Amino acid sequence: MSEERDDLVVLIDENGEETEFEHLDTIEYNGNEYVVLLPVEQTEEENDAEEVVILRIEQGEDGEDSFVTVEDDEELDAVFEEFKMRMEEEFEFEEE
């Protein structure tokens, strides 16, 4: 029996493969909104080296939100730093 969770997001990659993610946070930065997601497979494996996925939210012409890959490393790093500050109580982050 699987429990229903409203914090799950299912994304479809370029190959049509579905992957489930846990929504950790939505962050506003420099006039854009970003989602921070954690692959569900990673959390179920209890892997110590968890990696999050950060995507920019863009609104299409139809008014629907879509998630877009962030190509700019500086933008990605800045959003991740904001996420770390907001979540320092809930997660342990490794120092680089």
Question: What is the pLDDT at residue 49?
Answer: 53
Question: What is the pLDDT at residue 22?
Answer: 92
Q: Is residue 2 part of a domain?
A: no
Strand order across the 8-12 sheet: 8-12, 18-29, 32-39, 53-59, 65-69
Number of domains in the chain: 1
**How does residue 76 score in pLDDT terms, banded at 50, 70 and 90?**
very high
**For residues 84, 88, 90 and 94, what is the CA-based torsion angle, rounded to 10 degrees?**
70
Q: Is residue 40 part of a domain?
A: yes
Which of 29, 38, 26 has its CA nearest to residue 91?
A: 38
Rounded mean pLDDT of the chain? 83
Residue scoring higher pLDDT (46 or 89):
89
pLDDT at 6 over 80: no
Q: Is residue 3 part of a domain?
A: no
Q: List the domain range (segments joined by +) for residue 12.
A: 8-90
pTM: 0.77
**How does residue 47 score in pLDDT terms, banded at 50, 70 and 90?**
very low
Q: Is residue 1 part of a domain?
A: no
Q: Is residue 72 part of a domain?
A: yes
Q: Is residue 96 part of a domain?
A: no
